[in-house]
Amino acid sequence: MDLLAPHSLEELNRLIAEAPPLVPGATQAVLGEGPIGAAIALVGEQPGDQEDLQGRPFVGPAGQLLRSAMREAGIDDAQAYVTNAVKHFKFEQRGKRRIHARPSTGEVAHYRWWLNLELDFVDPRLVVALGATAALALAGKPVPVTKARGETRFGQRRGYITVHPSMLLRIPDAEGRREAHAAFLADLKRVRQLVN
């Protein structure tokens, strides 16, 4: 047994909050949110600009889309814990704007120990990977999201893979966006069924 390992989610969160970002620049670590014992844990990539400033996961545009799709799918807040594979915002500064930069495989691996402990404490019945970075963190190896979309296992954990909500925001045409949104919603409805 690792004597230095945290014994509660609170202790773990303290460690995460005190750790400096791997890539300098982030305002703060963004911790997971939701009840211990939540039926579903949803794992995103990393906090975005808004999350970094507010210190809460999924409060920016992609987060609002996710939260509204969860409501539409009948997943309520008491059932869901939301967190990220990487706890600090990584970005490129362009003028005044901070543009999201994808975390490297090494960065994802660095944060993985925390993510696994966090999920051990929350102990959800199903873990949902939102996009490729979350799937990489949970599976411990690259996963092709389009092919692997749907039910899966992440080691001992029951899992589900779907796209990241920010992908829906990047689709340029309305018809494509509508279809992608419907497929995302169908995934979340399936997720809800799997835990009910």
Alpha-carbon distance of 148 to 101, in angstroms, equals: 24
- Residue with Cβ nearer ligand URA (7 or 97): 97
- Residue with Cβ nearer ligand URA (1 or 57): 57
Distance in Å, CB of 44 to ligand URA, minimum = 3
> Do residues 128 and 40 touch, judged by C-beta distance below 8 A?
yes
Q: Indicate the burial class of 129 (C-beta count within 10 angstroms; 0-12, 13-18, 19 or more).
A: buried
- Residue with Cβ nearer ligand URA (87 or 192): 87
Report how many residues bind ligand URA under the rule CB under 6 A.
13
Amino acid making up residue 32: G
Alpha-carbon distance of 108 to 115, in angstroms, equals: 10
Distance in Å, CB of 33 to ligand URA, minimum = 9
Q: Where are the alpha helices (DSSP H) in the chain?
A: 9-18, 49-54, 61-73, 105-122, 132-139, 145-148, 165-170, 174-195
Position with the least CB separation from ligand URA: 44
Strand pairing report for 40-44 and 80-84: parallel
Distance in Å, CB of 59 to ligand URA, minimum = 7
Alpha-carbon distance of 28 to 40, in angstroms, equals: 25
Distance in Å, CB of 1 to ligand URA, minimum = 32
* Residue among 125, 38, 157 nearest 135 (CA): 157
Q: Which residue has the tokens 């969160």?
A: 13
**Stretch 82-141 residues interacting with ligand URA (CB under 6 A):** 84
**Stretch 140-179 residues interacting with ligand URA (CB under 6 A):** 166
Distance in Å, CB of 84 to ligand URA, minimum = 5
Distance in Å, CB of 171 to ligand URA, minimum = 16
DSSP state of 23: S
> Do residues 192 and 162 touch, judged by C-beta distance below 8 A?
no
- Residue with Cβ nearer ligand URA (48 or 159): 48
User: x-or-dash pattern for ligand URA, window 32-71, by CB under 6 A?
Assistant: ------------xxxxx--x-----xx-x-xx--------
Residues of this chain that interact with ligand URA (CB under 6 A) are 44-48, 51, 57-58, 60, 62-63, 84, 166
